[in-house]
Amino acid sequence: MKIESFIRTIPDYPKKGIQFRDVSTLFQDPRGFRMAIDMLLHPYAGQPIDKVAALEARGFILGGAIAHQLSVGFVPIRKQGKLPGETWEEDYSLEYGEATMEMHTDGLEAGERVLLVDDLIATGGTCEAGIKLIKRANAELVGCAFIIDLPELGGKKLIESLGVEVHTLCEFEGE
């Protein structure tokens, strides 16, 4: 069974013309969820990974499961103002404006090998901010893993242009 068969499409959400790729149906199915976690980890089998970092919010579901599977720590990268304590901030571009992602300054140690995960890569702005935060900690980024790539939006190409390996499980055309 293909991973795409577990993902539903919701037309015109959050606005007209958008085909929203909803992974909640994948998460609800025990076989599909397990398959996604295994497939996300497959390219990194045998590589030393010290921490899994994940982007808010659906990335946390994947990141927690992957960190558990690897028996390593988990580092959340959240929208501005959501993390207590001292954080680093990184701005990124949205379709209309900017936003900020944050990570705890003590979330990673220099030299740690980190896998960055999220459910979907679109324009790559959020992922790029996450990469910059990981690099600010002087940690080593092993790669980025996503369930879905929206190739028309160019995020995967953007991240690869930064010299970072990107692993995705499936693609959907459109926004």
Residues carrying an active site annotation: 58, 95
Torsion sign across C-alpha atoms 133, 137, 140, 146: negative
CB 120 within 8 A of CB 92: no
Give the DSSP letter string of 30-81: HHHHHHHHHHHHGGGTTS---EEEEETTHHHHHHHHHHHHHT-EEEEEEETT
Rounded to whole angstroms, the Cα distance separating 165 from 130 reads: 14
129 close to 91: Cβ distance less than 8 angstroms: yes
Q: Are strands 87-94 and 97-104 parallel, antiparallel or unpaired?
A: antiparallel
Task: Name the token pair of 13.
Answer: 């959400």
Which amino acid is it at 148?
A: I
